[in-house]
């Protein structure tokens, strides 16, 4: 099993490019099930979740799915048995994103129910409730969501809480539904907006994506198109945080600074010097960091997907930092590993109190999920001595060529087998 070894502390320098957003391309790939004709997606990150979604699409009968560099071509829509099996869904919860498209396109779907995962229970009740309101009959049978419907009907749906993939799943179902669907309390994430942009380019009629109220007029069919996936704000944020933690001068290119406003504000509040120039963000070397408080919330607030990395940064900062996780109930698994590296962190329910600065020392550590692995890389880069991150496969789900990108910046980081 792969491990990542880091010899710290590392001083980073240079420029690195953000890849396309994993959490935008996954729903867009699921949305190809709705489309007649060829779809080309550009700026696709070559990460394991994309490979898994390719397997899901092939399983569902897409005639041609090919990934060439960062260009993904998909042709064929949904043809085969509309079933997403346990073995695929188990490795990637985002497989649930095929539920809405299959139901809209084929009138039935059988999708393995994603279980809980390391970061929380993560139910899908909001997805199911909304699709039922559109006329679907949905049962849970033997661990599968079994759904059927004649043509879905437009409806007014108010999400009880903002859900990213819930908003996406229902929006995809609504584009081929009969009549108008009004979604309220929608997720505002840029990935939702990018999905709507892609669907509209295919002929869908969606208005209001990026606001809490999305209105969708159903159409008869969607046609193929070309679409460029937005940059990955979480990957970009991870590089910025790593640069700040190692007091380095790094520029992250081809990102969208407007998607990172809250994160940039927090970094500046810590004393990090930033330069935004078009689609590039530079982090400068500077003096000591100050501890700041962070609460994760849905976009445009501070993203839960950067909480772990930010906590690694806060171990370097002077003073106390209070980090509150409100999106997922169990997203502090990295705390134990940071403590093993010398961090002083106390957890009280959904709040972690970080006392800094703590000199980190390299240690063997265990990655528990994708973003926790990124946190351990940030910690390893700034720690004294050797850090070996076990279960490095988690990082490959969402970060493209992570060690190569950090090597380009001068980090002593490598992948080792065994
Ligand atoms: N929730 C429910 N019922 C539902 C749906 C959500 O109770 O039917 C709860 C969740 O348990 C959670 C909260 O609502 O407490 C918000 O969850 P949301 O549905 O927004 O999360 P998601 O759509 O499953 C996406 C990202 C996650 C990211 C979250 C929050 C994708 C493929 N995944 O998950 O990304 O953390 O939004 O921003 O877009 C990651 O990339 O590492 C990752 C976990």
For the chain, which residues make up each domain, given as ranges?
3-19+231-416, 22-228
Residue 408, classed as helix, strand or coil, is helix
Q: Which atom of ligand 1 is closest in space to residue 128's alpha carbon? A: 8
Considering only CA atoms, which residue is closest to atom 20 of ligand 1? 163
Q: What is the mean pLDDT of the chain?
A: 95
> How many C-alpha atoms does 159 have within 13 Å on its Cβ side?
27
Total H helices, total E strands in the chain: 14, 26
| Predicted local confidence at residue 90, as pLDDT | 87
CA distance 222 to 171: 14
Considering only CA atoms, which residue is closest to atom 44 of ligand 1? 305
- The answer, yes or no, to whether any atom of ligand 1 lies below 6 A from the CB of 163, is yes
* Chain centroid offset of residue 288 CA: 30
Q: Are 119 and 106 in contact (CB under 8 A)?
A: no
Q: Are 267 and 275 in contact (CB under 8 A)?
A: no
- The answer, yes or no, to whether any atom of ligand 1 lies below 6 A from the CB of 406, is no
Q: In what order do the strands lie in the sheet with 344-348?
A: 294-296, 319-325, 351-356, 344-348
Q: Are 215 and 207 in contact (CB under 8 A)?
A: yes
- The answer, yes or no, to whether any atom of ligand 1 lies below 6 A from the CB of 398, is yes
Q: What is the CATH number of domain 3-19+231-416?
A: 3.65.10.10
- The answer, yes or no, to whether any atom of ligand 1 lies below 6 A from the CB of 44, is no
Q: Are 13 and 244 in contact (CB under 8 A)?
A: no
- The answer, yes or no, to whether any atom of ligand 1 lies below 6 A from the CB of 395, is no
Centre of ligand 1 to C-alpha 106, Å, is 26
| Two structure tokens written together for 296 | 């994760």
Q: Which atom of ligand 1 is closest in space to residue 327's alpha carbon? A: 15
Answer yes or no: is pLDDT of 418 > 70: no
Considering only CA atoms, which residue is closest to atom 9 of ligand 1? 122
Sequence-distant (6+) residues with CB within 8 A of 212 are 184, 185, 186, 188
- The answer, yes or no, to whether any atom of ligand 1 lies below 6 A from the CB of 94, is yes
Specify the residue for token string 């969708």.
216
Sequence-distant (6+) residues with CB within 8 A of 233 are 18, 21, 190, 255, 256, 259, 260, 263, 303
Centre of ligand 1 to C-alpha 19, Å, is 21
For residue range 380-412, list pLDDT tens digits in order. 999 999 999 999 899 999 999 999 999 999 999
Cα→Cα distances 31→34, 176, 259, 273, 311, Å: 6, 11, 23, 40, 35
Q: Are 394 and 49 in contact (CB under 8 A)?
A: no
CA distance 330 to 74: 36
First-to-final CA distance of the chain = 5
CA distance 368 to 372: 6
Among 87-91, 188-192, 216-220, 294-298, the minimum mean pLDDT is found in 87-91
| Predicted local confidence at residue 94, as pLDDT | 94
Say yes or no: do domains 3-19+231-416 and 22-228 share a fold: yes
Q: In what order do the strands lie in the sheet with 273-277?
A: 13-17, 249-253, 280-284, 273-277
For residue range 190-236, list pLDDT tens digits in order. 999 999 999 999 999 999 999 999 999 999 999 999 999 999 999 99
| Predicted local confidence at residue 92, as pLDDT | 92
Considering only CA atoms, which residue is closest to atom 13 of ligand 1? 327
Considering only CA atoms, which residue is closest to atom 10 of ligand 1? 122
CA distance 46 to 398: 9
Residue 343, classed as helix, strand or coil, is coil
Q: Among this protein's residues, is 117 annotated catalytic?
A: yes
Centre of ligand 1 to C-alpha 187, Å, is 10
Answer yes or no: is pLDDT of 116 > 70: no
Centre of ligand 1 to C-alpha 166, Å, is 8
Answer yes or no: is pLDDT of 121 > 80: no
CA distance 76 to 415: 37
CATH for the 22-228 domain, from 3.30.70.600, 3.40.50.300, 3.65.10.10, 3.10.310.70: 3.65.10.10
For residue range 260-293, list pLDDT tens digits in order. 999 999 999 999 999 999 999 999 877 899 999 9
Q: Are 241 and 381 in contact (CB under 8 A)?
A: no
For residue range 297-307, list pLDDT tens digits in order. 999 999 999 99
CA distance 334 to 311: 9
Number of CB atoms found within 10 A of residue 34's CB: 23
Per-residue burial over 86-104, b = 16 or more CB atoms within 10 Å of its CB, e = otherwise: bebbeebbbbbbbbbbbbb
Centre of ligand 1 to C-alpha 57, Å, is 22
Sequence-distant (6+) residues with CB within 8 A of 125 are none
| Predicted local confidence at residue 417, as pLDDT | 84
Considering only CA atoms, which residue is closest to atom 39 of ligand 1? 23
Instruction: Tell if the pTM clears 0.85, that is, is over it.
Output: yes
Cα→Cα distances 140→82, 90, 193, 206, Å: 16, 16, 30, 30
């Amino acid at each position: 099993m792969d491990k990542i070894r880091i010899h710290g502390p590392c001083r980073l320098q240079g420029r690195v490019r953000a890849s396309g957003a994993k959490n935008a391309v996954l729903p867009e790939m699921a949305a190809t099930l709705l489309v007649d004709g060829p779809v080309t997606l550009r700026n696709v990150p070559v990460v394991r979740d994309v490979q898994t979604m390719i397997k899901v699409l092939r399983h569902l009968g897409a005639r041609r799915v090919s990934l060439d560099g960062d260009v993904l071509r998909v042709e064929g829509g949904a043809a085969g048995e509309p079933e997403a099996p346990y073995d695929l869904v188990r490795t990637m919860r985002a497989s649930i994103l095929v539920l809405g498209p299959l139901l809209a396109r084929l009138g039935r779907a059988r999708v393995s129910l994603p279980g809980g995962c390391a970061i929380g229970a993560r139910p899908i009740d909001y997805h199911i409730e909304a699709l039922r309101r559109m006329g679907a009959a949905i049962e849970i049978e033997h661990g599968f969501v079994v759904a059927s419907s004649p043509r879905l009907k437009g409806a007014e749906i108010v999400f009880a809480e903002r859900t990213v993939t819930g908003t996406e799943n229902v929006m995809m179902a609504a584009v081929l539904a009969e009549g108008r669907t009004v979604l309220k309390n929608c997720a505002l994430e840029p990935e939702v907006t990018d999905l709507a942009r892609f669907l509209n380019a295919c002929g869908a009629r969606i208005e209001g994506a990026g606001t809490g109220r999305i209105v969708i007029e159903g159409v008869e069919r969607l046609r193929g198109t070309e679409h460029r996936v937005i940059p990955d704000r979480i990957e970009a944020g991870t590089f910025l945080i790593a640069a700040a933690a190692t007091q380095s001068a790094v520029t992250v290119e081809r990102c969208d600074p407007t998607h990172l406003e809250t994160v940039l504000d927090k970094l500046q509040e810590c004393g990090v010097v930033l330069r935004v120039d078009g689609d590039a963000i530079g982090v400068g070397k500077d003096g000591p960091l100050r501890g700041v408080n962070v609460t994760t919330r849905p976009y445009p607030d501070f993203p839960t997907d950067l909480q772990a990395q930010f906590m690694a940064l806060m171990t370097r900062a002077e003073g106390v930092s209070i980090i509150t996780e409100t999106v997922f109930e169990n997203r502090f698994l990295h705390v134990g590993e940071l403590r093993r590296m010398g961090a002083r962190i106390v957890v009280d329910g959904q709040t972690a109190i970080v006392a800094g600065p703590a000199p980190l020392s390299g240690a063997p550590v265990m990655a528990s999920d994708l973003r926790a692995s990124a946190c351990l890389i940030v910690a390893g880069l700034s720690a004294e001595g050797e850090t070996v991150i076990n279960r490095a496969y988690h990082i490959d789900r969402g970060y493209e060529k992570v060690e190569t990108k950090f090597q380009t910046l001068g980090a002593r980081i490598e992948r080792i087998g065994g």
